[in-house]
Amino acid sequence: MSPAAERIAGFEPIAAPDASVLILGSLPSQQSLQKHEYYGNPQNVFWRVMGELFGAGPDIPYAHRAEKLKRFRIAVWDVLHSSIRPGSMDAAIDLQSATPNDFQMFYDEHPMLEMLCFNGKKAAELYERLVAPQGICTIDKIEFRTLPSTSPAYASMKLEEKIRHWSAVRLPCSNNRRA
């Protein structure tokens, strides 16, 4: 098996037990895997958006960004635990090899979730295809939202417009921020 066809695995979630919003990507990019950071590609605007909304921008160390999100009750994870994917493009994910993360465990450990946000259509499609059929979301009244991808592959939308769409993640956590 060539290195381009090896199975890659994602990261543990960034999450505190009282998380109210879960942001889901698909699977970390090659740059993210090398840095061992969610959204490690500097062309991905995720951390710029989080900087505008929560002060968790790329200008501060990764560990501090993660802690800021936790204080605002924001969790970050990926739909997939692992898959074969040559390169970093979501379109290259081999669906036959795709294994979702353990959402039953996550939902059991985070009963205060109010909103699940997908970072782009591919994450939503993967969740719908691999997770939803399991019928495991037992949290009442959870809102599902598909937001514009922060990926550099989706550059047709201006940053300001992405921030406007992404401001929806502030709704459940705005009154519940921990000091």
**pLDDT band at residue 3 using 50, 70 and 90 as cut-offs:** very low
The candidate with the shortest Cα–Cα distance to 25, out of 69, 106, 90, is: 90
At residue 143, the 3 state secondary structure works out as strand
**Which pLDDT score, from 0 to 100, does residue 179 have?**
46
| pLDDT at residue 115 tops 90 | yes
In this predicted model, which residue has the larger pLDDT, 148 or 2?
148
| pLDDT at residue 112 tops 50 | yes
Q: How far is residue 120 CA from its own chain's centroid?
A: 9
In this predicted model, which residue has the larger pLDDT, 47 or 175?
47
Superfamily of domain 3-170: Uracil-DNA glycosylase-like domain (3.40.470.10)
Calculate the average pLDDT of the chain: 88
Positions marked catalytic = 44
Q: Whole-model pTM?
A: 0.90
| pLDDT at residue 171 tops 80 | no
150 touches 38 (CB < 8 A): no
Give the Cα separation of 92 and 62 in Å (integer). 27
72-85 tens-digit pLDDT: 999 999 999 988 88
The candidate with the shortest Cα–Cα distance to 143, out of 118, 172, 114, is: 114
